[in-house]
Amino acid sequence: MPHSKKNIARIIVLTGCVLLGTYFLAKPVIANSLTKKTVIAKPTKALTHLEKQRELYQQAQDLLDLKKIAQYIDLRPQISDYALTPYVDYRAFLIDIGERAPQEVDNFTLLHKDFPFSSSIKAAYLTGLAKNKRWKTLSEYQKEPPNDQRFRCYYYTAKWETNYKTQAYKGAQSLWLTAGSVSSACDDLFDHWAKAGHRTDDMIIDRMVLMSKARRSGLFSYLDKMLVSDAAKEQSKNLQALFKKPQDVLSFSQSNPVTKFNQSLTDIAFKQWIRQDTKSAVENFDAVMKAQKLPQSTQTYLANYATSWLVNTDSDKLAAWRDAQIKQGGSVAMIERRARLAVQHNDWQGVSYWVGLLPQKMQSTTRWQYWLGRVEFAQGKDKQAKQRLTKILGQRDFYSVAAANLLGEPIRYQSQILTGKQVDISSKKVALARIEEMIAVDKIDAAKREWRWLLWHSTQSQKMALVEYASHKHWHNFTIVATIEAKMWSYTSLRFPITHRWWFEHFAKQNNVPLITLMSLSRQESALDVNARSPVGARGLMQIMPTTAQHVVDIHDLKYNNADDLYNVDKNIEIGSYYLSDLLKDYDNNRIFAFAAYNAGPNRVKQWRQRTGGKVDAYSFIEAIPFKETRGYVQNILMFETYYRNLLAQDGAFLTPSELKGKY
């Protein structure tokens, strides 16, 4: 039986859901909760109905892979009631989608509006329409310029093909003026635009300026060859020369007339000079600004940029210039960095001064209230300090706990539990059944996508009910994700599940690392997602890089096959606990240094310790960490330990005596 769009559409309309079919290429497996520990289903006895459905579903996927549409259509009725069948329906719908009518696509999208893929159907349709050169349909279907560059290329090409050339050329110009490469989907549009005389030398130079500003030179030669006039070629020559040697900006600014173009080159080159040689750039700041008469807004921006490179300068002269610039027009972020620098140097008068320049709202945060309290203690104003710090006690906040420790008060914070019956979520039962089946067959990424979509389309009360549901199912990462989406910050027992305890305890004892330390670090690293993978390739619960894993297993002679092992709970915790134990040994059991090194690397911790020179206390060292991510990372894990300590009814100090007495 030959297949047709109508046959496929008739099958698809029976159900409703979409997700990329590539998630469903593996053989059916039974997954234990949300782990990568799987057991392959063995046909030792007659298959259950569900097991048959899973096999048939996989056959449907295989048929679509092979483009055997007729066989797929014959098989489809046998899986009509299987939870994941809508995914193969989506794959089938994508076949020849570019030949479909807009109303058909809209109907399918509306039918599947409750599913994650509904937002991606339009992209597939636009791609299909462009591939089939159905420009009139594309122009009618896509009413506004899309955000994505490739689809904007399609959109404006359709405008040109349907004789809306003014709009097409305007769109081509906006697409041309970018610092990076442009999608090949724009090639025809750019050809039309150029032939119409719109790709002028000015347009080419403007793009080169944008590229220079973004520090990208890859297309300079390509663009330079397009230039026609001698004047434009000279501009290109100057631009490329300054890009290679930004220190020549002083002579350039003084020997060339003040023009908008020359001001732009001066601005860009001077910023590059700051990066390469901050001292020389600052010494010539006034001369360059004066020579090209740069606008005050540009001067202020460049001054702020230069100060950011002088935060830790050892030069008194440069430090004085830096501080003068910050006082004169420093950004809020720069003022805060300067206040943090004062903390780093135990400059209590400086802390008071720079915090005083921050907006009142920022001054009122627990962070700066804590440090103002420290200032008052240092100045002998104990009564004022105690009054200030008492006001920030009792919060789920690092600085609130730091204040409690300073005042000798117990750590207190609000904690809630879900009580009573939650709102009815029976309307979500189909989606929940689908998620459960995804987990059962080890399609965890797809389950994550469905879970987030479900949360995004739920009310606050429904989100709270979904938190409870996930908790009862022992979907630990899903529970955490839901508490974040629902902003349930005070529900600590739900935000910090106790999971994989046997493995954590086993390797905690084996490596002499506190149980709650391992659990807290894992909670920070992955939100207890055993399948987590970061953009840079860190894997699993403790987010271990494959290179780090190999280093650890080589040192400790551990069994290890490849990076996929890091998705196994036991192996991940084993390697992570050995690595953390090694760091703790390197730093005499100082968790602050160990956590910072786990996040940013031992070399950076070494640099930061050299800056503070053993002259600050633990809290000042944490505040002086220049990376916002690492600073928050250390603070979070210390707080997470506090929560887990309470949940597990374990004694322990926020900071140990040795950490409090340590040299930072």
Helix axis angle, 569-586 relative to 515-526, nearest 10°? 110
Label residues 67-99 b or e (16+ Cβ within 10 Å = b).
eebebbbebbeebeebbbbbbbbbbbbbbebbe
Work out whether strand 38-40 and strand 29-31 pair parallel, antiparallel, or are unpaired: antiparallel
Question: Residue 540: left if φ>0, alpha if ψ -120 to 50, beta else—which one?
Answer: left
- For residues 368 and 352, what is the distance between their CA atoms, to the nearest angstrom? 9
CA-nearest of 298, 299, 295, 322 to 309 is 322
Helix axis angle, 296-308 relative to 260-276, nearest 10°? 10
Tokens coding 608: 């930061």
Which residues does residue 448 pair with via DSSP β-bridges, in sequence order? none
Which residues does residue 31 pair with via DSSP β-bridges, in sequence order? 38
- For residues 150 and 153, what is the distance between their CA atoms, to the nearest angstrom? 5
Alpha-carbon separation of residue 208 from 89, 275, 522, 539 (angstroms):
47, 20, 46, 40
Alpha-carbon separation of residue 452 from 48, 90, 342, 434 (angstroms):
31, 19, 42, 13
Largest CA distance in the chain: 91
In the chain, how many H helices and how many E strands? 39, 2
Give the Cα-Cα-Cα angle 159, 160, 165 (nearest 5 degrees).
95
With H, G, I as helix, E, B as strand and everything else as coil, classify residue 573: helix
525 is catalytic: yes
- For residues 184 and 306, what is the distance between their CA atoms, to the nearest angstrom? 38
Terminal Cα-to-Cα distance of the chain (whole angstroms): 77
By the 10 Å C-beta count (0-12 exposed, 13-18 middle, 19+ buried), 454 is classed as buried
Tokens coding 286: 């006034």
What percent helix, strand, coil does the chain show, rounded to 5?
65, 0, 30
Q: Over 371-418, what HEC string results?
A: HHHHHHHHCCCHHHHHHHHHCCCCCCCHHHHHHHHHHCCCCCCCCCCC
Residues 6+ apart with CB under 8 A from 463: 455, 482, 485, 486
Tokens coding 7: 């046959």
- For residues 114 and 135, what is the distance between their CA atoms, to the nearest angstrom? 30
Residues 6+ apart with CB under 8 A from 517: 508, 580, 591, 637, 641
- Check: CB of residue 432 under 8 Å from CB of residue 20: no
Task: Determine which one of 437, 450, 525, 659 is catalytic.
Answer: 525
- Check: CB of residue 470 under 8 Å from CB of residue 479: yes
- Check: CB of residue 302 under 8 Å from CB of residue 321: no
Residues designated catalytic: 525
